[in-house]
Amino acid sequence: MEHEAIVPVILCGGSGTRLWPVSRDSMPKQFVSLTGTGRSTFQDTVLRVRGHGFMKPVVLTHGDFRFIVLEQLREIGVEADIVLEPERRDSAPAVAVAALVAQQRGAIALVVAADHVVDDADAFRRDCQAAVPAARSGALGDGRIMLLGIAPDHPSTAYGYIAVGEPIGPDRAAGSFEVARFIEKPDAARAAELIEEGCVWNSGNFLFDPAVMIEELEQGAASVLDGARGALEGAMRDLDFLRLDAASFGKAPRISIDYAVMEKTRRAGVVRARFGWSDIGAWNALYDVLPRDASGNVVEGPVSLAGTKGSLVRADGILTAVVGISDAVVVATPDAVLVTTRERAGEVKGLVAQLHSEGREEAGQHRRIHRPWGWYQRIDIGTRFQVKQICVHPGARLSLQKHFHRAEHWIVVQGTAEVTIDATVKLVHENEAAYLPIGCTHRLHNPGKIELRLIEVQVGSYTGEDDIVRVEDVYART
Amino acid sequence: MEHEAIVPVILCGGSGTRLWPVSRDSMPKQFVSLTGTGRSTFQDTVLRVRGHGFMKPVVLTHGDFRFIVLEQLREIGVEADIVLEPERRDSAPAVAVAALVAQQRGAIALVVAADHVVDDADAFRRDCQAAVPAARSGALGDGRIMLLGIAPDHPSTAYGYIAVGEPIGPDRAAGSFEVARFIEKPDAARAAELIEEGCVWNSGNFLFDPAVMIEELEQGAASVLDGARGALEGAMRDLDFLRLDAASFGKAPRISIDYAVMEKTRRAGVVRARFGWSDIGAWNALYDVLPRDASGNVVEGPVSLAGTKGSLVRADGILTAVVGISDAVVVATPDAVLVTTRERAGEVKGLVAQLHSEGREEAGQHRRIHRPWGWYQRIDIGTRFQVKQICVHPGARLSLQKHFHRAEHWIVVQGTAEVTIDATVKLVHENEAAYLPIGCTHRLHNPGKIELRLIEVQVGSYTGEDDIVRVEDVYART
């Protein structure tokens, strides 16, 4: 089979609260190591859409995540075009942007979510290639929007289903079928019937000729297309990112691609995928895809179990002991613990909404906060003081800043810091300290080749993050 | 009724692993705030045995806990004689020491555990006084060893039972009875029968004339008595403590007072106590004594519940969410989490043994380590560095010490430090720092009237606690 150029567009703007407390707004599930590969599902997704026939990927994400995306791409050594959505507006505007970008590249678009798990990357790529002929429009093609349909391995109530119709074209594109109809998330009994009838799961990942998607959007959701077009035309290059124009993008209605196009179009097709798949939409779904021990437990981190069966226990650096419980979900992080059952794991989303409404910082914020220059993490707080560990990447520099209510002591514990205090610039080495009096203008820079780590002790009447005046910032945050 | 002088002897040498992770070897349950009073059960116990007729209490504890005892007594403003056992040797040697000390004081001894909960301190004191006539030996007394028997409120399988016999002396000591027999921990069905028969729980707290206990020990466990006598005769005064002689005490066999005396003696009596009581021997027992909300949950700390019933959820400073679980026990601390059920809570002791055998530091050590001068707590650790918060009580001073492998930076965040570095002594105030190079001889002293808090950043090739040479120590630890 001849290969067709495919441009992968990876959607990773989601917030993933259903895997709280590991996944939070400040670092949602697609960026977290969840599946035992040592990489995030975003990284695994990027690595999955590479190889012969796949072009440089496009990553469509939210501005808040731009530096996480950049760092995670650097970790796996992959280059991508990063397009920033000014705000979250559901999937149709994102797919419209994907179609317009793919049209510029003259390639078939493959739109994939960054937070899905696939058990066989080779099979995934083969299935994508197999869908291309049916997706191709023009003289030789049918111009279908080709969905990747997944063979169900259990009667899931968490996924939509697709009734598979007739084969598309008898002489080519073997394995491509018409979509007879879409079925929304069913109850368990109905799900079993659908599987009996040969239906497949709708993975929400799909392949299309940009011209076809643009036509369909024009007919079904013209304002979405207009917004996306304007957002791209007005886009600004900002460091390594392409920042979509906010005013235009903001005019695109909030609507999913399912409602805007897929459920109306007569041009939907589906391939019967030959890989295992999950959207790990909740902790029980993660349990389902991970290897279990003899007692049916999935364990990660410093965990001790006694008389425990069928449970998912994840401990991020905090000893977690579970005694005499079955089918539980226990997730412990340094500042938040979740205990539920596999059956009730779907309620976590509601729990997080409740925690937000109670004003709990842990609902959305991780303890470690990522910044363009590295990260910081609070390690202690008390009356009139706070202590942080700060990590600065090689070459990176924080903004030139000052505080009105706190002095800071910096003790370098790894690497070398270049510290600017008012008019003075000095190097501070491991086991050396610098003192920043209240009100001084200061900057921290890592001039070295290894990560700079330092302990910051803040002392003052107020140690909140908002006591900061940014005088100058290489990351354009002033 | 006439009052008789009673000397309370509080036994608080236990290690209480069944309430892990809140209770650990380094700070066992009797010293922890568990019952919502804001005080430890040790403190509540000390306050319970005060008032008319009660002499200055004797606290019998282990050397490891001496400074915790001292500080907790200071917190509640009570003076006590503190006797230190050189090692743990079960209850008979401790009771023998109690008897000998009470004999010196010429008073009736009341031996109570430091980790029990009593719901009515007045009733407790009245019941103790009511037992005195039957305990008194000589012309007017029977010389009984009087147990406090508790009216069961459920068929507990965790307690021993006492079958109550005939009243002792028709004309006095109303409410004092013979012990017909002792019954070891029964199963639930037998427990229900015992309650039907009018049996009471054996609280393990008892009152006696020292001469009687000494006679009984002579007959039943002479080597226990000999060891205790030698330990007291050879005892050394050490700061605020009376340190029993280790060689003599070590000769006393490890045996409980139940086996050594109570189950053999014909002089056991019992009062039907009129207070509610628990030994809070496990998390389910603690659940039983604490107030519940409308869903039957006992909650402490930053906890969020949804669809959870009949559960004990305790969060020590770490947000803990429980969704859709019944009859659970969830206990979260900054470095260890326990999840079990009320039914299986008794297995925690075995879990802790397993964690010890796996070499897990969290099995026995809290993150906050108490010292005679205050406490310290690790707040961060990494390659070649460690960060601690240190608290020094007013007037206290650490040992004069040095380290071979680490330098230290001290940043004072509250109070004032007097810092000795080699030949130099200087005052370091809030928001000031001191640097201690590797190998320097140094000392930290709090000369002020409020607690001194500082952040210590250690940098070096090895930051273990054992890299310390104590040159001089006011707490005799060199």
| B306, B332, B379 member nearest A337 (Cβ) | B332
Q: In degrees rounded to 5, what are phi and psi of residue A149?
A: -95, 135
- Give residues with Cβ within 8 angstroms of A304, minimum separation 6: A319, A320, A321, A322, B351, B354, B355, B358, B360
The residue of chain B nearest to residue A337, with distances taken between CA atoms, is B320
Residue A442 corresponds to which amino acid?
A: H
Our measurement of the distance from residue B345's CA atom to the centroid of its chain's CA atoms, rounded to an integer in Å, reads: 20
Q: Which residues contact B279 (CB under 8 A, 6 or more apart)?
A: B113, B115, B116, B117, B158, B159, B203, B204, B285
Domain range for B301: 292-357
**Which tokens go with B169?**
């002396």
Secondary structure E strands in A397-451: 400-402, 406-414, 417-421, 424-428, 433-436, 442-445
Size of interface A-B (CB pairs under 8 A): 194
Average pLDDT value for residue range A157-178: 84
Query: What pLDDT does B149 receive?
Result: 97
Residue type, A374: G
Q: Is A359 on the interface with B (CB under 8 A)?
A: no
Q: Is residue A164 part of a domain?
A: yes
Whether B283 is in a domain gets the answer no
φ and ψ of B175, to 5 deg: 95, 0
* In A9-90, alpha helices (H): 41-48, 66-76
pLDDT for residue B173 is more than 60: no
Q: In the sheet where A336-341 sits, what is the strand order?
A: A298-300, A312-315, A328-332, A336-341, B319-323, B303-306
Judge whether B286 lies within some domain: no
- Give the mutation candidate from A360, A459, A462, A463 for the B interface (greatest B CB count, under 10 A): A459
Local confidence band at A141 (pLDDT 50, 70, 90 cut-offs): low
In the DSSP assignment, the letter for residue B54 is: B
Judged by CB atoms closer than 8 Å, whether chains meet at A319 and B304 is answered as no
> Which pLDDT score is estimated for A454?
97
- Is 80 exceeded by the pLDDT of residue B142? no
Q: What is the pLDDT of residue A2?
A: 46
Q: Please tell me if residue A321 touches chain B, with a CB cutoff of 8 Å.
A: yes
How much is the pLDDT for B478?
65
Of the listed ranges A150-154, A160-164, B10-14, B200-204, the one predicted with least confidence: B10-14
Confidence of residue A405 (pLDDT cuts 50, 70, 90): very high
Report residue B115: phi and psi, to 5°.
Answer: -120, 25
Q: Are residues A176 and A210 in the same domain?
A: yes
The answer on A326 and A224 residing in a single domain is no
Dihedral sign from CA coordinates of B289, B291, B293, B294: positive
For B236, phi then psi, to 5°, come to: -115, 140
Confirm whether A363 is domain-assigned: no
In chain A, whose CA is at the least distance from the CA of B363?
A: A319
Q: Residue A207 carries which DSSP code?
A: E
User: Distance from B442 to chain A by nearest Cα, in Å?
Assistant: 18
- The C-alpha atoms of residue A422 and residue A418 are separated, in whole angstroms, by 13
pLDDT band at A139 (very low <50, low <70, confident <90, very high): low
- In the structure encoding, which two tokens stand for residue B376, read together? 């310290």
Cβ pair B323:A304 closer than 8 A: no
Q: Taking a contact as any Cβ pair under 8 Å apart, which residues of chain A between 178 and 237 contact chain B?
A: none
pLDDT per residue over A437-467, tens digit each? 999 999 999 999 999 999 999 999 888 888 8
Question: Please, which pLDDT band fits residue A34 given cuts at 50, 70 and 90?
Answer: very high
CB contact A335 to B (< 8 Å)? yes
- Looking at residue B2, what is its pLDDT? 45
Those of residues 379-398 in B touching chain A at CB distance below 8 A are: 379-380, 382-385, 387, 389
Mean of the per-residue pLDDT values of chain B: 92
Question: A353 in helix, strand or coil?
Answer: helix
Which of B306, B354, B455 is the closest to A351 by Cβ? B306
Which chain A residue has the Cα nearest residue B460?
Answer: A431
B:423-442 residues touching chain A, CB 8 A cutoff = 430-431, 433, 435
- The domain tally of chain A equals 3
Q: Tell if the CB–CB gap between B389 and A382 is shorter than 8 Å.
A: yes
Task: Say yes or no: A165 and A259 in one domain.
Answer: yes
Confidence of residue A89 (pLDDT cuts 50, 70, 90): confident
Q: Which residue does chain B place closest to A409, by CA atoms? A: B411
Which of B320, B355, B387 has the CB atom closest to A337's CB atom?
Answer: B320
- Quote the tokens at residue B387: 């960060």
B340 and A323 in contact by Cβ < 8 A? yes
Q: Are A456 and A390 in contact (CB under 8 A)?
A: yes
**Which residue, of A278, A311, A342, is where some domain finishes?**
A278
Confidence band for B15, pLDDT divided at 50, 70 and 90: confident
The answer to whether residue A14 scores a pLDDT higher than 80 is no
Q: Which of B21, B334, B457 sits opposite A411 (nearest CB)?
A: B457
CB contact under 8 A, A304 and B360: yes
Please check whether residues B317 and B338 belong to one and the same domain. Answer: yes
Region for residue A193 given its phi and psi (left: phi exceeds 0; alpha: psi -120 to 50; beta: otherwise): alpha
pLDDT tens-place string over residues A279-326: 999 999 999 999 999 999 999 999 999 999 999 999 998 999 999 999
Query: Are the beta carbons of A322 and B304 separated by less than 8 Å?
Result: no
Helix, strand and coil in chain A, % to nearest 5:
25, 35, 40
Tell me the chain B residues in contact with residue A307 when contact means C-beta distances shorter than 8 Å.
344, 347
Q: Average per-residue pLDDT in chain A?
A: 92
Least CB-CB distance to A385: which of B320, B384, B413?
Answer: B413
Min CA distance, B203 vs chain A (Å)? Answer: 28
Backbone dihedral angles phi then psi of residue B425, each to the nearest 5 degrees: -125, 130
Kindly list the residues from chain B whose CB atom is less than 8 angstroms away from the CB atom of residue A355.
Answer: 304, 319, 321
Strand, coil or helix: what is A350? helix
Q: Is A109 on the interface with B (CB under 8 A)?
A: no
Note the pLDDT of residue A4: 66
Of B92, B84, B123, B128, the C-alpha closest to B108 is B128
State how far residue B301 is from chain A, nearest Cα, in angstroms: 12
Residues of B in contact with A382 (CB under 8 A): 389, 413-414, 453
The residues in B 6-35 lying below 8 A from A, measured between CB atoms, are 21
Does the beta-carbon distance from A455 to B453 stay under 8 Å? no
Phi, psi of B381 (to 5 degrees): -150, 145
Tokens for A101, please give them: 């970008």
Task: Mark whether B160 and B95 lie in a shared domain.
Answer: yes
Assign residue A46 the CATH number of its domain: 3.90.550.10
Q: A478 lies in a domain?
A: no
Mean pLDDT of B148-173: 87
**CA pair distance B106, B25, nearest whole angstrom:** 35
For the stretch B79-134, pLDDT in tens is 999 999 998 888 999 999 999 999 999 999 999 999 999 999 999 999 999 999 89
The residue type found at A270 is: V
Distance CA B300, CA B38 (A): 12
Does residue A271 sit in the same domain as residue A336? no
Query: Tell me, what CATH number does A463's domain have?
Result: 2.60.120.10
Give CA–CA dist A278/A282, Å, rounded.
Answer: 10
The H or E element containing residue B328 is: strand B328-332
Residue numbers in B near A344 (CB within 8 A): 307, 323-325
* Closest chain A C-alpha to B357 CA, distance in angstroms: 12
Range A34-56 average pLDDT: 94
Residue B465 has pLDDT above 90, yes or no: no
Distance CA B207, CA B148 (A): 8
B112 within a domain of the structure (yes/no): yes
Q: What is the mean pLDDT of residues A40-49?
A: 97
- Within a domain: B478: no
Alpha carbon of B367: minimum distance to chain A alpha carbons (Å): 12
pLDDT at A246 (0 to 100): 94
B324 contact residues in A (CB cutoff 8 A): 340-341, 343-344, 347
Judge whether residue A173 has pLDDT over 70: no
Is there a single domain that holds both residue A125 and residue A159? yes
Strands B81-85 and B241-243: parallel
Amino acid at site A130: A
> Which residue has 């001290």 as its token pair?
B410
With an 8 Å Cβ cutoff, are B321 and A338 in contact? yes
CA distance B421 to chain A (A): 17
Long-range pairs, B259-264, Cβ under 8 A, ≥24: B259/B92, B260/B92, B260/B217, B260/B220, B260/B221, B260/B224, B261/B92, B261/B95, B261/B145, B261/B213, B261/B216, B261/B217, B261/B220, B261/B221, B262/B145, B262/B147, B262/B182, B263/B182, B264/B216, B264/B220
Query: Do the chains contact at A453 and B382, CB–CB below 8 Å?
Result: yes
A313 token code pair: 């226990």
Do B315 and B393 fall into the same domain? Answer: no
- In the beta sheet, which residues pair with residue B340? B329
- B330: nearest CA partner in chain A: A339
Residue pointed to by tokens 């009470």? B102
Contact residues, chain B, for A379 at CB < 8 Å? 379-380, 387
Q: What DSSP string describes A274-296?
A: -S-EE---SHHHHHHHS---TTS
User: Are B85 and B230 members of one domain?
Assistant: yes
Of B325, B341, B407, the CB nearest to A431: B407
Rounded to an integer, what distance in angstroms lies between the CA atom of residue A448 and that of residue A417?
8
What is the average pLDDT across A192-211? Answer: 96
Flag whether pLDDT at B427 surpasses 50. yes
Which residues on chain B are in Cβ contact (under 8 Å) with A325?
328, 339-341, 344
pLDDT band of residue A1 (cuts 50, 70, 90) is very low
Q: Do A328 and B322 touch (CB under 8 A)?
A: no
- A314, A267: one domain: no
Sheet holding B406-414, edge to edge: B368-371, B374-382, B385-392, B452-460, B406-414, B433-436
Last residue of a domain, which of B252, B278, B304? B278
pLDDT level of residue B329 (50, 70, 90 thresholds)? very high
Candidate from A37-51, A69-83, A162-176, A368-382 with smallest mean pLDDT: A162-176
**Weakest mean pLDDT among A80-84, B3-7, B424-428:** B3-7
Distance in angstroms (rounded) separating the CA atoms of residues A117 and A35: 8
Residue A172 has pLDDT above 60, yes or no: no
**Distance in angstroms between the alpha carbons of the first and the last residue of chain A:** 53
CB contact under 8 A, B379 and A387: yes
- B339 with A321: Cβ contact below 8 A: yes
Report CA Rg, chain A.
Answer: 25
Whether chain A has a CB inside 8 Å of the CB on B367: the answer is no
Q: Which residue of A has its CA nearest to B321?
A: A338
Whether A267 has a pLDDT exceeding 70, the answer reads yes
* Cross-chain residue pair A431–B379, CB shorter than 8 Å: no
H/E element, A271: strand A268-272
Domain end (from A308, A327, A357): A357
Contacts of B433 in chain A (CB under 8 A): 409, 433, 435
Q: Are residues B163 and B300 in the same domain?
A: no
**What pLDDT sits at residue B1?**
39
Q: B433 and A324: CB-CB below 8 Å?
A: no
Contact A91, A11 (CB under 8 A): yes
Please report which helix (H) or strand (E) contains residue A200, including its range: strand A200-208
Kindly report, residue by residue over B176-194, the tens digit of the pLDDT. 999 999 999 999 999 999 9
Pair of tokens at residue B420: 């000795």
- Tell me the residue type at A206: F
Is residue A453 situated within a structural domain? yes
**Interchain proximity B351–A304, CB inside 8 Å:** yes
Task: Count Cβ atoms below 10 Å from residue B461 Cβ, excluding itself.
Answer: 11
Residue B423 and residue B320 in one domain:
no
A430: closest chain B residue by CA: B459
**Searching chain B, which residue's CA lies closest to the CA of residue A318?**
B335
